[in-house]
């Protein structure tokens, strides 16, 4: 073996393993970054699928204007429509499933010059009217959110039978309404926890 070849071989043994280790470490760092980024993307996608949030600027504005918890508004929208322009068999429309009759009454009391049923497909109008109803029910039942939600779902008549302002969730005898109230209250906690910044509670 020539002197030059021996020197080249010696240099490789002195520096080669270090270079290989460096490459492996670099590849490991890249792999970790990719895994974290992928997991973050997947987590965000799953979060948006299972707990969607849209129109947060409108929700925050209505929450502040009408004194209703923003996470509660988001939870009602999620439970009622999953943030889609839905229409129920009873004719309730839009994100918060407001009936045209209720909307006309709200429009009249809020000084709107005109109202068309198609207006309920407008997210701003629908959230405004839905939050109006929610705030009204909360006030009617002296701050009892469970009673307000039960009334939002089943109407005021059954709520009076279940205790009115003293209603407890376990007193609700309609399985559908009880499940609705339980789900909204659970979703309210989740929205406040997962979307604190977006809903105006400060840094999430």
- Contact, 147 vs 141, CB < 8 A? yes
80 is annotated as an active-site residue: yes
Task: Please state, in angstroms and rounded to a whole number, the distance separating the CA atoms of residues 56 and 41.
Answer: 21
Q: Where are the alpha helices (DSSP H) in 51-122?
A: 56-66, 70-81, 100-109
Strand boundaries in 62-169, DSSP class E: none
Burial of 100 (0-12, 13-18, 19+ CB in 10 A): middle
Q: Which of 14, 56, 80, 124 is catalytic?
A: 80
Q: Cα 95 vs. chain centroid, distance in angstroms?
A: 12
| Residues labelled catalytic | 80
């Amino acid at each position: 073996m020539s002197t030059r070849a021996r020197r080249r071989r010696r240099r490789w043994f002195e520096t080669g393993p270090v270079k290989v280790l460096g490459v492996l470490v670099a590849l490991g760092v890249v792999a970790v970054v990719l895994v974290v980024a992928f997991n973050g993307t997947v987590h965000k996608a799953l979060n948006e699928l299972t707990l969607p949030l849209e129109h947060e600027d409108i929700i925050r504005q209505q929450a502040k204007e009408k004194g209703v918890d923003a996470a509660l508004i988001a939870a009602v929208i999620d439970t009622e429509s999953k943030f889609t322009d839905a229409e129920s068999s009873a004719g309730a429309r839009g994100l918060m499933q407001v009936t045209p009759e209720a909307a006309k009454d709200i429009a009249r009391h809020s000084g709107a010059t005109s109202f068309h049923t198609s207006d309920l497909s407008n997210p701003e109008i629908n959230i405004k009217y839905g939050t109006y109803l929610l705030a009204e029910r909360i006030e009617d039942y002296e701050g009892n959110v469970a009673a307000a939600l039960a009334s939002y779902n089943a109407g005021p008549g059954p709520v009076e039978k279940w205790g009115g302002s003293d209603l407890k969730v376990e007193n609700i005898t309609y399985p559908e309404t009880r499940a609705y109230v339980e789900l909204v209250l659970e979703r309210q906690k989740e929205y406040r926890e997962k979307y604190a910044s977006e809903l105006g509670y400060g840094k999430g």
